[in-house]
Amino acid sequence: MSDPTRSDKVRLDKWLWAARFFKTRSLAADEIDKGRVRVNGQVAKASREPRVGDEIEFKAGYSSRTVVVRALSAVRGPAPQAALLYEETAASLLARAQAAEQRRLAPEPAHTITQGRPTKRDRRQLQDLRSSDRTPGWNERWSAALDD
């Protein structure tokens, strides 16, 4: 029986998972099914078998990556071992560094929100603050009562 780490045939989704680009094989397969993974410039299927030397383009995290397959493996191992399965291209490294610098200089405004939505208690406190501003509420401005 052959060693599973030295397999000559491995599915693309399994290789992406083994190379630690995606946490689960199903996440890798979903990205492939959505057409977000290209092998040698062509949209790939999950069952495609990558070969040593193939160039794979995909989006992982905030930026796109382009890697060249250096070895095949169907087994997910430790990160140092997984890093031997691929080599990232110089253009991809440069693009990721520029994207990281851009995020550092101009962060996404939504990322500065730390608490999220106000709770029911917070909303009541805000409403109390707003009503104490001496601004008459709707019912105080408009009344159907007759003035006596």
- Mean of the pLDDT values across residues 97-101? 91
With 60 as the cut, is the pLDDT of residue 7 above it?
A: no
Residues facing 121 on adjacent strands: none
What is the average pLDDT across 66-94?
95
Span 77-92, average pLDDT? 95
107 or 33, greater pLDDT: 33
Residue 35 has pLDDT above 70, yes or no: yes
Ranked by mean pLDDT, which of 3-17, 84-98, 110-124 comes out on top?
84-98
Do 49 and 10 contact (CB within 8 A), yes or no?
A: yes
pLDDT of residue 115: 78
Give the number of other Cβ atoms within 10 Å of residue 21's Cβ: 22
- Mean pLDDT for 117-133 is 83
Structural domains of the chain ordered from first start: 4-108 (3.10.290.10)
Query: What is the maximum alpha-carbon separation in the chain?
Result: 100
Task: Report whether pLDDT(49) > 50.
Answer: yes
Q: Is the pLDDT of residue 1 over 50?
A: no
Answer with the residue of higher pLDDT: 38 or 122: 38
**Tokens representing residue 97 in the block:** 């560094």
